[in-house]
Structure 1
Amino acid sequence: MSELAASRLDDWLEKLSAPVPDPGGGAAAGIMIATGAALVAMAAGYVRADAAAELAATATRVRGEALAAAEHDGRMSGLLVAAFRRPTDDPERDGALRAATVAAADAGADLVALAASLDGPLLWLERFGEARLAPDVAVAARMLACGIRSTAVNIRGNTTSAAAAGVDAPTLQRLRAAGERAEQAAARLDAVAERVTATL
């Protein structure tokens, strides 16, 4: 079990409120994604079907992985801040910045992939879920979309910093594509939420 998974929520929020890079906004987005995944598992748990049990298990796995990814994102944020704080005359500063910006963006892309993997389960719940749980399905979709959009902001910021640090063009293209995929995934999840909300 990760340290984050074992911690009390208020203790973690206290750490988040401190003026330090770890945890930061990326980790907070990870918590949002983990919470959305938990709601997917809850909604699936109300449906008596083998497929629903599998969806609940998938969502529970994503919840745990999102917490681990949030911790990793926090560590990458700490390394990035440490790289920026190196003296400008440090000969290793540019290399540290290039590595840290790319690693931070990749950490965000991992979080997005986890959240986006619940698109299918939410579509299933939209069709076959318990009607009384429809609001929870919509909230789950919104939370996952919010986590993704928040992470996309970090990916964009890290990509901009990577470009300024002299990261090569193919890597920058890959990072920008990750940001675009994040926005597309969030839009799909928001669409689920809109459709489900319209039935209420």
Structure 2
Amino acid sequence: MPPHSTPPRKKTDDIDRANLPANYLDIPLQEIGDEVPVYENVNIPHLWFPFCLPSNLSTPQAAAIRRKLNKLLETKSKIPTTNKPWTKTALSTELQKTAQAHHPIKSQQGVGNHGPSLPALSRFLKKSGGMGGGNSESYYFGKMLLEKLRIWNDEKKTKAREKAEAEFPNGRARNDPEHMWIICRADERPTYSELANFPRRLDGFD
């Protein structure tokens, strides 16, 4: 193999899952402060919050989860242990199963663990510039499903993920500029990069 080539991904049949549950959705995830922490981020520097009001651009971490979920749909791969392909309907169903096996969490939809409906998931997946959905059920349970799939497929954490875990031991804050306010001085202009890098606090003041 050339020194700079990407290692080939393991074939599904080559993965040893002896220590995993029979269903990928039953894979336990570590919680910190009653929440599965999120570390994903897409750095978008030099974008400013005008006058410190909610912006209509999506939050970077929501964009990362959205991109991965859309990629899952585009690959036409099969849902683990089934012959069913990933479709929006199937993804919504799997996210609801993930949510209902989890305890209620606080999101922009309120407090609950119902999981996103198909229309809610579709809205999240279609978002681009506006209303990032970084504090939605689609985002939170979407990151959980993706992490379970990563473990099921025996995929290693990226260097960026390992660095983020060290830098943000409690994970990043779940933010959506459409549903938050930032208090700052008149001469301050927080960037999207700064918002995306807000650490998650465990004192209820996220």
Q: Which has the higher contact order (CA 8 A, sep 6+)?
A: 2
- With the length of structure 2 as denominator, give the TM-score of the two structures: 0.30
Which structure's residues are more often helix, by fraction?
1
